[in-house]
């Protein structure tokens, strides 16, 4: 028998119009989902995406692994939920 994951899927990422941010969930080292957000402006300045909500969401999806890694770094440095990313959190990290 093949083992199956018991970790439930998080809600899908979405653009929250009132806050102007993409909201999403990241699986942390404890296998718990942590809520996070990143503003459309931060996505625009970091990834040169458009400022419309649909463009911000598309930019998140395109760069999800980098953005999720930034959330994990913030959690590792002591941030608690919800993690609100800033542009500097997503600055390119030199390869190890």
Contact 95, 86 (CB under 8 A): no
Rounded to two decimals, the pTM is: 0.85
73 CA to centre of own chain: 11
Number of domain units in the chain: 1
pLDDT at 2: 59
Q: pLDDT tens digits for 36-89?
A: 999 999 999 999 999 999 999 999 999 999 999 999 999 999 999 999 999 999
Residue 95 lies inside a defined structural domain of this protein:
no
What single-letter DSSP state applies at residue 22?
E
Residue 37 lies inside a defined structural domain of this protein:
yes
What single-letter DSSP state applies at residue 78?
T
Residue 59 lies inside a defined structural domain of this protein:
yes
Residue 1 lies inside a defined structural domain of this protein:
no
In CATH, what number is assigned to the domain containing residue 71? Answer: 3.30.160
Distances (CA, A) of 55 to 43, 48, 60: 9, 10, 9
Structure tokens at 85: 């990313």
Contact 13, 62 (CB under 8 A): no
Residue 82 lies inside a defined structural domain of this protein:
yes
């Amino acid at each position: 028998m093949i083992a199956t994951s018991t970790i439930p899927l998080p809600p899908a990422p979405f653009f929250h119009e009132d806050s102007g941010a993409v909201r999403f969930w990241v699986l942390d080292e404890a296998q718990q989902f942590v809520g996070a957000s990143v503003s459309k402006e931060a996505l625009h300045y970091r990834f040169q995406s458009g400022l419309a909500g649909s463009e911000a969401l598309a930019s998140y999806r395109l760069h999800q692994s980098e953005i999720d890694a930034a959330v994990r770094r913030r959690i590792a440095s002591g941030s608690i939920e919800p993690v609100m990313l800033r542009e500097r959190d997503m600055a390119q990290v030199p390869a190890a």
